[in-house]
């Protein structure tokens, strides 16, 4: 190998890597460039060592790579701009791109819950066979309403948030199997339907909806999103399309992780409403109005911000530099 010619060709990349390694702060694009150059210069060092092991060149490149390694250790750390980009681009794009999955899940779930409630109102033996008259009186008279006020607001909101986050996480995590998602979703929908039937049958329907709707609109939407994403994850390896099953599942899996992280914030909002608004002394219409506003803002977030991000080419997946190689790569 002609070492002088090799140096002439690659020295501009070495100087650029040295420049980036000396900077205290890097933009996202510069951090990606640093990592790319690090891989390339590592290859250059291997070539020099094997073909023409000039001590000065080997020492220089080794030192350069050491400095680049230290710089890259903090170059990919999360920043406020990364967080802002996630909530203005990645998360809403993922929601918009998968809207048919969780939207269909939401519609079918609401219809199923309504059918369960209708059946329960017309067939009271559904709960009479499982609850004693005293238990029914307690549930309808005090237990359902007291559930939202028996704990301190902060404690109750936190408990609700953690429980809903757990349900959403299970829907996504078990998505690879498919059926467990349907079981979790179905169980929650049936419980809501039976509770509605029990309250409506005993002329407490106004109280039921007055306590459920303020937080339930956003909370159930988040659960439907999680279930829809879980089912999309399941379908990604059943019907991968033009990609291999592994590539399809990996891409949808990364999107699912993005959605699960974003839903933590959504469920935090619904938990706050359930902990502070639902049991508050506000008029029923005001509490429901707050729930409708929260749900409307979420839908606007998806169909305005998310659609805009998708039109700009954002898919809800991570950046290619973070996703890893899907085929063998070489550096030169």
Task: Map tokens 């329907």 to a residue.
Answer: 205
Residue 280 pLDDT: 86
For residue 150, pLDDT over 80 is answered with no
> What residues have CB less than 8 Å from 302, skipping those under 6 apart?
92, 95, 96, 99
Residue 111 pLDDT: 96
- Cα torsion 137, 140, 142, 143: sign: positive
Confidence class for position 324, pLDDT limits 50, 70, 90 = very low
- Tokens coding 241: 């399309």
* Helices and strands (H and E) in the chain: how many: 16, 0
Read off φ and ψ for residue 189, nearest 5 degrees. -65, -45
CB atoms within 10 A of CB 208: 21
Q: What is the overall mean pLDDT for the chain?
A: 83
For residue 320, pLDDT over 70 is answered with no
Residue 327 pLDDT: 40
Confidence class for position 116, pLDDT limits 50, 70, 90 = very high
Residue 200 pLDDT: 93
Residue 312 pLDDT: 87
Q: 331: closest CA among 73, 65, 2?
A: 65
Residue 36 pLDDT: 84
Q: 251: closest CA among 269, 232, 270, 266?
A: 232
Q: Which of 73-82, 125-134, 266-275 has maximum average pLDDT?
A: 266-275
Q: Which of 25-39, 108-122, 185-199, 272-286 has the lowest mean pLDDT?
A: 25-39
Q: Which of 34-38, 123-127, 204-208, 302-306 has maximum average pLDDT?
A: 302-306
Instruction: With beta carbons less than 8 A apart as the criterion, state whether 199 and 146 touch.
Output: no
Instruction: With beta carbons less than 8 A apart as the criterion, state whether 94 and 316 touch.
Output: yes
Write down the pTM of the prediction.
0.71
Q: Which of 57-71, 191-205, 290-304 has maximum average pLDDT?
A: 290-304
Q: Which of 130-139, 256-265, 298-307 has the lowest mean pLDDT?
A: 130-139
Instruction: With beta carbons less than 8 A apart as the criterion, state whether 255 and 317 touch.
Output: yes
């Amino acid at each position: 190998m002609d070492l002088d010619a090799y140096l002439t060709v690659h020295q501009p990349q070495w100087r650029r890597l040295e420049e980036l390694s000396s900077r205290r702060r890097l933009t996202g694009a510069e951090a990606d460039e640093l990592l790319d150059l690090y891989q390339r210069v590592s290859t250059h060092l291997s070539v020099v060592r094997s073909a023409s092991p000039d001590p000065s060149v080997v020492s220089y490149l080794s030192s350069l790579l050491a400095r680049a390694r230290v710089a890259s250790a903090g170059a990919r750390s999360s920043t406020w701009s990364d967080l802002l980009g996630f909530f203005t681009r990645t998360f809403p794009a993922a929601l918009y791109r998968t809207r048919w999955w969780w939207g269909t899940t939401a519609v079918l779930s609401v219809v199923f819950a309504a059918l369960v409630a209708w059946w329960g109102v017309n067939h009271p033996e559904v709960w009479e066979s499982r609850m004693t008259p005293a238990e029914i009186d307690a549930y309808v008279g005090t237990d359902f309403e007291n559930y939202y006020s028996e704990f301190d607001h902060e404690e109750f909101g936190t408990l609700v948030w953690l429980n809903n986050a757990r349900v959403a996480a299970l829907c996504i995590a078990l998505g690879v199997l498919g059926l467990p998602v349907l079981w979790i979703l179905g169980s929650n929908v049936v419980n809501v339907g039976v509770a509605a039937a029990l309250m409506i049958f005993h002329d407490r329907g106004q109280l039921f909806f007055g306590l459920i709707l303020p937080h339930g609109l956003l909370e159930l939407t988040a659960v439907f999103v999680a279930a829809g994403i879980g089912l999309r994850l399941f379908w990604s390896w059943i019907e991968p399309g033009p990609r291999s099953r592994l590539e399809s599942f990996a891409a949808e899996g990364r999107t699912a992780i993005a959605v699960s992280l974003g839903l933590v914030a959504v469920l935090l909002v619904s938990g706050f409403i359930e902990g502070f608004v639902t049991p508050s002394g506000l008029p029923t219409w005001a509490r429901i109005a707050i729930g409708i506003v929260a749900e409307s803002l979420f839908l606007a977030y998806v169909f305005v911000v998310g659609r805009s991000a998708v039109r700009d080419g954002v898919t809800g997946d991570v950046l290619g530099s973070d996703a890893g190689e899907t085929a063998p790569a070489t550096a030169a």
